């Protein structure tokens, strides 16, 4: 049953047609990137023992809509499976801010419907009021500006993810995903995903790659200190592919020793580089003209600079736990190409990949008109022990602090993770002690931890 919606980046499963849970999911999806609600099926893909009937679904949807402020339009489909029917309710991302009748404003965070704080609601409302740029038609663009081969590749990958044939013509699918307007004209998202030459009409949509010789943009003689500079254009999938190929060519290969084995590894973990690149392509603010995405490689670091500040309610402090897309149609398109595995988990895994290979965690810097991810290269790195692969991001942050400072106390851990409850942080440290990673020193308020 799960195969029915494998092409949906965000999906939730409700075994029963519960109006309260349905309304919560509708509000969360409408405030986030949209998604699909599968009714009559549990998370494991098993049909409910008591099948849902169409009349029951329609009654639950009506009751759920009455709980939403303002009302959220939805559409549903019925699927027949062995054992009875199941239903899929699709919720589009909304240009409005939605709340439940009890006042809660929810967003979708991973597998949860999470309420926002007052400040987060203000930030989300400001984002909603700025309009939906990627859905606008591109002035001067026509259907002929889209690349047939790129569209065919996308349709094939989308069909492969769904594991069933697509219904409708190519143009009907493009309209459904927001690439064409109802009049058949390319939108910003359509031109960026499928354009033969998107930069002719959206020149800001390219990428600039620069490889510097040292640690500074200026050389020792005061002139530009780069050894290679490339401009990468085309639809987004090609930009991702070609930029990754350039970075891969320029990354040095070193040797690390794990136990008694010597292993060759790239300068940076591939997943971390790809994630920073894909995030920049998907989440940059394409309204900003005159600025392209920049990838800068120095001898000691790599910087990926994305025009535009962080979207919605996302901040540097909550970037690991929260997810919000400025361009949900672009995200959905890149998801079909396979460059996004699961929404909301990329930053966690980027941090894990860097720390596990002996580098510092990525550094995130947010400014009003740019967001920068810096991957620092530790050339004297040692491979992190295998037990770190099952740590959470907070524990890896604590471990980095201990490596730099020699120890960590509960107070210092709370300063590193101010938005996490003290009890959760205490249990994090207890877990690391039980795994034999840390050694607990002292008692009560004098307790601190060191590497064992």
Q: Where do the structural domains in the chain lie, given as residue ranges?
A: 2-111, 135-201, 204-376, 386-451
452 residues of the chain, pLDDT tens digit each: 444 443 456 788 898 899 999 999 999 999 988 889 998 887 777 787 778 888 888 999 999 999 999 999 888 888 776 667 789 999 988 888 999 999 999 998 777 898 998 888 988 887 776 668 898 999 999 999 999 999 999 999 988 887 778 888 999 999 989 999 999 999 999 999 999 999 999 999 999 999 998 888 776 666 666 778 999 999 999 999 999 999 999 987 765 555 545 566 788 999 999 999 999 999 999 999 889 999 999 989 999 999 988 888 888 888 877 778 889 899 989 998 988 876 666 787 888 888 878 888 899 999 888 999 999 987 665 555 555 556 787 888 888 888 788 889 988 998 888 878 888 888 889 888 888 788 888 767 778 888 76
Burial class, 54, CB count within 10 angstroms (exposed 0-12 / middle 13-18 / buried 19+): exposed
Burial class, 263, CB count within 10 angstroms (exposed 0-12 / middle 13-18 / buried 19+): exposed
And the tokens for 45? 């893909």
* Interacting residues of 142 by C-beta distance below 8 A, sequence separation 6+: 185, 186
Helix or strand run (H / E) with residue 411:
helix 410-416
Strands 35-39 and 301-307: unpaired
CA pair distance 297, 289, nearest whole angstrom: 24
**Which residues is 417 bridged to in the sheet?**
none
Q: What is the DSSP letter of 167?
A: P
Contact 190/178 with Cβ under 8 angstroms?
Answer: yes
And the tokens for 411? 């107070």
> Within 13 Å of residue 438, how many CA atoms lie on the same side as its CB?
28
* Interacting residues of 287 by C-beta distance below 8 A, sequence separation 6+: 133, 308
* CATH match of 386-451 with 1.10.150.120: no
Sign of the Cα pseudo-torsion (441, 447, 449, 450, in order): negative
H helical segments located in 49-165: 54-65, 118-129, 148-162
Q: What is the DSSP letter of 218?
A: B
And the tokens for 272? 């971390």
Domain 204-376 -> CATH class: alpha beta
CA pair distance 116, 397, nearest whole angstrom: 25
Q: What is the DSSP letter of 44?
A: T
From the list 97, 127, 55, the residue with the least C-alpha distance to 324 is 127
The CATH number of 2-111, from 3.30.379.10, 3.30.950.30, 3.30.160.40, 3.90.550.10, is 3.30.950.30
Contact 13/41 with Cβ under 8 angstroms?
Answer: yes
Contact 186/143 with Cβ under 8 angstroms?
Answer: yes
Q: What pLDDT is attached to residue 261?
A: 56
270-283 vs 328-337: helix axis angle to the nearest 10?
A: 140
Q: What pLDDT is attached to residue 4?
A: 43
And the tokens for 232? 């990468």
CA pair distance 439, 237, nearest whole angstrom: 47
CA pair distance 408, 203, nearest whole angstrom: 49
Q: What pLDDT is attached to residue 142?
A: 96
Integer-rounded Cα Rg, in Å, for the chain is: 24
And the tokens for 77? 């489909």
409 phi and psi, to 5 degrees?
A: -110, 165
Strands 207-212 and 226-232: antiparallel
SS3 (DSSP) at 297: strand
CA pair distance 372, 243, nearest whole angstrom: 17
Q: What pLDDT is attached to residue 81?
A: 66
CA pair distance 180, 184, nearest whole angstrom: 5
Q: Per this entry, what is the length of the chain?
A: 452
Residue with tokens 């965070």: 109
């Amino acid at each position: 049953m799960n195969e029915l919606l494998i092409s949906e980046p965000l999906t939730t499963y409700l075994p029963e047609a519960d109006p309260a849970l349905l309304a919560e999911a509708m509000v969360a999806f409408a405030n986030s990137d949209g998604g699909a609600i599968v009714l009559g099926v549990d998370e494991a893909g098993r049909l409910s023992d008591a099948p849902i009937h169409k009349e029951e679904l329609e009654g639950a949807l009506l009751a759920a809509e009455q709980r939403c402020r303002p009302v959220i339009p939805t559409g549903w489909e019925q699927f027949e499976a062995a054992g009875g029917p199941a239903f899929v309710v699709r919720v589009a991302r909304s240009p409005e801010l939605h709340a439940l009748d009890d006042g809660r404003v929810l967003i979708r965070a991973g597998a949860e419907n999470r309420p926002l704080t007052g400040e987060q609601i203000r930030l989300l409302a400001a984002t909603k009021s700025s309009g939906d740029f990627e859905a606008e038609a591109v002035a001067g663009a026509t259907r002929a500006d889209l690349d047939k081969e790129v569209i065919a590749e996308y349709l094939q990958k989308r069909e492969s993810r769904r594991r069933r044939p697509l219904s409708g013509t190519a143009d009907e699918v493009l309209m459904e995903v927001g690439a064409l307007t109802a009049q058949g004209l390319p939108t910003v998202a359509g031109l960026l995903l499928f354009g033969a030459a998107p930069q002719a009409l959206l020149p800001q949509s390219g990428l600039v790659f620069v490889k510097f010789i040292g640690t500074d943009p200026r050389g020792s003689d005061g002139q530009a200190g780069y050894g290679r500079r490339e401009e990468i254009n085309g639809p987004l999938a090609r930009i991702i592919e070609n930029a990754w190929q350039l970075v891969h060519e320029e990354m040095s290969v070193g040797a690390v020793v794990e136990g008694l084995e010597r292993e060759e590894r790239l300068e940076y973990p591939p997943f971390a580089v790809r994630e920073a690149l894909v995030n920049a392509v998907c989440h940059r603010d394409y309204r900003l003209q005159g600025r392209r995405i920049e990838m800068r490689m120095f001898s000691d670091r790599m910087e990926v600079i994305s025009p535009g500040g962080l979207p919605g309610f996302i901040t540097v402090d909550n970037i690991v736990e929260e997810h919000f897309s400025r361009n949900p149609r672009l995200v959905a398109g890149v998801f079909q190409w396979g460059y996004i595995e699961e929404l909301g988990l990329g930053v966690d895994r980027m941090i894990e990949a860097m720390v596990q290979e002996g580098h510092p965690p990525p550094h995130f810097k947010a400014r009003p008109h740019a967001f920068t991810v810096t991957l620092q290269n530790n050339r004297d790195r040692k491979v992190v022990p295998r037990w770190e692969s099952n740590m959470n991001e907070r524990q890896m942050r604590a471990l980095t602090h201990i490596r730099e400072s020699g120890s960590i106390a509960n107070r210092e851990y709370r300063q590193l993770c101010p938005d996490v409850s003290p009890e959760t942080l205490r249990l994090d440290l207890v877990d690391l002690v039980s795994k034999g990673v840390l050694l607990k020193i002292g008692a009560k308020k004098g307790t601190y931890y060191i590497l064992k």
